[in-house]
Chain A
């Protein structure tokens, strides 16, 4: 069964450093997402991406965040200058068409020290 792949599974970084979280969505999917989940809290929407551009973003997705699809398979989330409060599990998700179900990767646990 096709799946969304995320790397790394864990990332530890110092406050102020840049991190790049990587995702390979399912190959025939057209819509890509980043979500985050702070420990013990709800899954929060960050950004959606379609047709090589951001289609929606939340208020969490401020100027320190950016997304890119550098080639035909990867979808990345960059956090430019990490803060302690960026510590969370980051999930990538993809779906095939509108209103269809989301498939999630296994997540990257980001710890900012």
Chain B
């Protein structure tokens, strides 16, 4: 079983749409969770950390459901510049290793 699983997409949505990505993780003792964004042939960049209480940063909302072992990312009012691959990242209980999902590809269409 993969440590972190994501729907690879692709998701093609019109500008202004709301889109949601989910991610599941295998280790129930995982401690920290993140969403990264990766543009084509660039490095991953932190989008936001994910906290148990859920957190919001502008148009982006992240949720964590520990009981079901999944993480979600909601993007409201999609912009063309949101087109990228979104990576779910989990720090397993080993503490020092971060596991990446395969990423979900998003294209926002004019």
Contacts and interface: CB of A to CB of B under 8 A. Distances in A.
Give the size category of B's interface with A. 20 to 34
| Interface class of chain A by DSSP | strand
A45 B99 contact: yes
A33 B101 CA distance: 17
Interface string A5-49: 000000000000000000000000001010100000111110010
Which of B38, B96, B100, B103 gathers most chain A CB within 10 Å? B96
Interface in A83-111: 89, 91, 98-107, 109
A97 to B, nearest CB: 11
A108 to B, nearest CB: 11
Contact of A104 (B45, B95, B99, B103): B45
A102 to B, nearest CB: 6
A68 interface: no
Contacts of B89: 102
B95 A43 contact: no
B97 A48 contact: yes
A43 B94 contact: no
